[in-house]
């Protein structure tokens, strides 16, 4: 009789963590940061239809990196959770903290009970009546939850982006300044092509606006985005060859 191979619980957890981290690292980066008027979402996203940033409820936004089908399931579940709670109680009772706790429980259960964990990292953000009430929660593949005071960076080379944002982030920035800080970090983290054909980083941008009436979430696209974006850095002129 062949004996089954044994793997310790610690080894299983390490292997699941490695699978999830590698999947998340392959994803394009997302930056979520606070600014004077609310919360700004900036994501590298070449797709015009598969969104990485979305609205969950009146004052709550969602951003994610990793495997699209998995974080899309989480997004839909979050909308249903928020809608049900708002219907049963009051719309003001729906909060980012409660939603983040629900996501943490779901991700934790999947990580410990299923063979393959979700390869996702999620940010749940809420804009408050004042800047002090704005909330950012980052959730990792194993259900860990972190309350971030200034900004959240996920996917790609997150450590490098975090270092760049720490150097340039300032409290109470205007929207155009905050967007410039995020885009500058993303551009610096994008490798320069060696063949000279540099495609611009395609961005998905949205905000939770404090002063917006009703639903606070708004996508920033087209001419409105072009107006806010910082200018592309100019390439240095090449010296002409001497005759």
Q: What domains can be seen in the chain, in order of their start residue?
A: 21-191+201-222 (3.60.20.10)
Closest Cα partner for 66 from 149, 183, 158, 131?
Answer: 158
| pLDDT for the residue numbered 234 | 55
| pLDDT for the residue numbered 243 | 43
Q: What is the pLDDT of residues 187-239, one digit of tens each?
A: 876 654 444 444 556 899 999 999 999 899 999 999 999 999 876 655 555 45
Asked if 30 and 42 touch (Cβ cutoff 8 Å), the reply is yes
Q: What is the pLDDT of residues 2-19, one digit of tens each?
A: 556 666 778 888 888 999
Average pLDDT over residues 81-95: 93
- CA gap 155, 48 in Å, rounded: 19
The chain-wide mean pLDDT, for the chain, equals 88
What pTM was estimated for this model as a whole? 0.88
Q: What is the pLDDT of residues 154-199, one digit of tens each?
A: 988 888 899 999 999 999 999 999 999 999 988 876 654 444 444 5
């Amino acid at each position: 009789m062949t004996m089954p191979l044994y793997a310790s619980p610690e080894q299983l957890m390490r292997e699941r963590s490695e699978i999830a981290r590698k999947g998340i690292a392959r994803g394009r980066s997302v930056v979520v940061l606070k600014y004077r008027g609310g919360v700004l979402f900036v994501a590298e996203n070449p797709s015009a239809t598969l969104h990485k940033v979305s609205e969950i409820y009146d004052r709550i936004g969602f951003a994610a990196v990793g495997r699209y089908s998995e974080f899309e399931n989480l997004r839909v579940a979050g909308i249903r959770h928020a809608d049900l709670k708002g219907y049963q109680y009051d719309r003001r009772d729906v909060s980012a903290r409660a939603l983040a706790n629900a996501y943490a429980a779901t991700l934790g259960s999947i990580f410990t009970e299923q063979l393959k964990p979700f390869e996702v990292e999620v940010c749940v953000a809420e804009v408050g009546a004042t800047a002090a009430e704005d909330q950012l929660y980052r959730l990792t593949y194993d259900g860990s939850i972190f309350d971030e005071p200034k900004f959240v960076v996920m996917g790609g080379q997150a450590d490098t982006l975090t270092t760049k944002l720490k150097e340039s982030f300032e409290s109470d920035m205007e929207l155009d300044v905050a967007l410039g800080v995020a885009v500058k970090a993303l551009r610096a983290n994008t490798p320069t092509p060696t063949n000279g054909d540099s495609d611009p980083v395609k961005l998905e941008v949205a905000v939770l606006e404090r002063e917006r009436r009703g639903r606070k979430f708004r996508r920033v696209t087209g001419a409105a985005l072009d107006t806010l974006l910082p200018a592309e850095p100019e390439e240095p002129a090449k010296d002409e060859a001497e005759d």
